Chain A
Amino acid sequence: SAVISQKPSRDICQRGTSLTIQCQVDSQVTMMFWYRQQPGQSLTLIATANQGSEATYESGFVIDKFPISRPNLTFSTLTVSNMSPEDSSIYLCSVKFHEQFFGPGTRLTVL
């Protein structure tokens, strides 16, 4: 299994600002994933982050809005840029070994 921590656990932000979410894993992993979970909704994959290469974004998500860093095999950040109320969601970090594990999430509210 994997132990995943995220910071911050929650935040309230003003529109137009940016927030960087950190994800730390207790094991080295090649691929890390970032998901968005809008209120009352399912999980939607934002991007896949490989160490040493550019993140791969899913349809509807762009690097300018959600830049991702992956400096090493245990850490990644997701930035939500120029936020609007529509960005209010839970953002989840995830890794895959034999199964897929999720972090506790970052609950973001944009006013």
Chain B
Amino acid sequence: GENVEQHPSTLSVQEGDSAVIKCTYSDSASNYFPWYKQELGKGPQLIIDIRSNVGEKKDQRIAVTLNKTAKHFSLHITETQPEDSAVYFCAASMKNYGQNFVFGPGTRLSVLP
């Protein structure tokens, strides 16, 4: 089955700097890769996703890149703000009905003012 690794486990950056979180997956059949942000005391919230027919996707300060050959994808946050502090999870799945996600272990991001 699918296995998703995520690095780093913790990341501290200064406000305004960029943050990068990387994930690798094992199943070449996976074709959908969402990223979730979980703030303290809340459930995970989808922040961006990418499908395997796309190499990069951007939404304001957040971008995701995908390298299908190498089976890795990354989350990039630019101009970080204190409210970006949270735990971020990557996931991989086959985007067909009923197929669930395999989540990475998570990255705790701290943005220091």
Contacts and interface: CB of A to CB of B under 8 A. Distances in A.
Contact of A45 (B44, B45, B100, B104): B100
B35 to A, nearest CB: 11
A104 B43 contact: yes
B89 A42 contact: yes
B49 A99 contact: yes
Contact of B98 (A4, A31, A41, A42): A31
Contacts of A33: 100
Interface string A14-39: 00000000000000000101000000
Interface residues of B, number: 17
Nearest to B102: A45
B108 to A, nearest CB: 9
B42 A43 contact: no
Given A33-B100, A48-B100, A100-B34, A42 B105 contact: yes
Interface of A: 4, 31, 33, 41-43, 45, 48, 92, 96, 99-105, 107
| The 10 A-B residue pairs with the shortest CB-CB distance in the complex, in nearest-first order | A102-B43, A42-B103, A42-B105, A104-B43, A43-B103, A102-B44, A105-B43, A99-B46, A42-B106, A103-B43
